[in-house]
Chains A and B, each alone.
Chain A
Amino acid sequence: GNSVTQMEGPVTLSEEAFLTINCTYTATGYPSLFWYVQYPGEGLQLLLKATKADDKGSNKGFEATYRKETTSFHLEKGSVQVSDSAVYFCALSLANTGKLIFGQGTTLQVKP
């Protein structure tokens, strides 16, 4: 079946540290891949996306590359800030319906 697996959190980093949040997927066909961010008490916001293999999505210093050979879409940022503290969700979009399948979410805590 179709599924998304994220690394378990919480991930705790000091300000300016390098961030990686792992995401792997299982899917039939050719899904699009997404990262969403959720700040406390709010809805989810689209952070970045990639629609085909080898595409790199980027936004606000975050990047993720669609790796078909390893079925991965890891989220990276070179230097995190306290304001990046949030829950991050990886998701895939089914080719035939557009419906999203979400991972469980990874909590990031950045300390000053």
Chain B
Amino acid sequence: DGGITQSPKYLFRKEGQNVTLSCEQNLNHDAMYWYRQDPGQGLRLIYYSQIVNDFQKGDIAEGYSVSREKKESFPLTVTSAQKNPTAFYLCASSEQGNNYGYTFGSGTRLTVV
């Protein structure tokens, strides 16, 4: 079955460390997205990519970085410059065009210890 896989499900980071969250899809989707969700809050867009080797900043890109070297993969690095990284991170993918919506992964919960 096709889908989108995020790993790990839970991640703990010490202050000052960079961590990388994995997102892999086998849906052959061109576009991929990273969102951050805080408790009781909506979704905020971090980065998105509509094609391999190209990506754009979303609304809250500071302290994060991404790469899109393969169509299937869109890893997110949370750097030490992100001052409040504890949150639930969601990855999504979609086909091009506005009728399809997104397919979401099951999320990674990052906690700073």
Bound pair: A and B? yes
**A interface residues with partner B (beta carbon < 8 Å):** 31-32, 34, 36, 41-46, 49, 51, 89, 91, 93-100, 102-105, 107
B35-48 vs A, Cβ < 8 Å mask (1 yes, 0 no): 00000111100001
Number of A-B contacts (CB under 8 A): 64
B99 contacts A by Cβ under 8 Å: yes
Interface size class of B (residues with CB under 8 A): 20 to 34
Chain A, residue nearest B44 (CB): A102
Q: Are B97 and A43 in contact (CB under 8 A)?
A: no
The chain A residue sitting closest to B30, CB to CB, is A98
Contacts of B94 in A (CB 8 A): 98, 100
* Cα distance A43–B4 in the bound complex, in angstroms: 11
Q: Is B86 an interface residue (CB 8 A)?
A: no
Known: A93-B98, A98-B97, A98-B98. A43 touches B104 (CB 8 A): yes
In this complex, what residue of B is CB-closest to A46?
Answer: B101
24 CB < 8 A contacts A-B: A31-B98, A32-B101, A36-B104, A42-B106, A43-B92, A43-B104, A44-B43, A44-B90, A44-B92, A45-B104, A46-B102, A49-B99, A49-B101, A89-B42, A91-B101, A93-B98, A95-B98, A98-B31, A98-B96, A98-B100, A99-B33, A100-B94, A102-B42, A105-B42
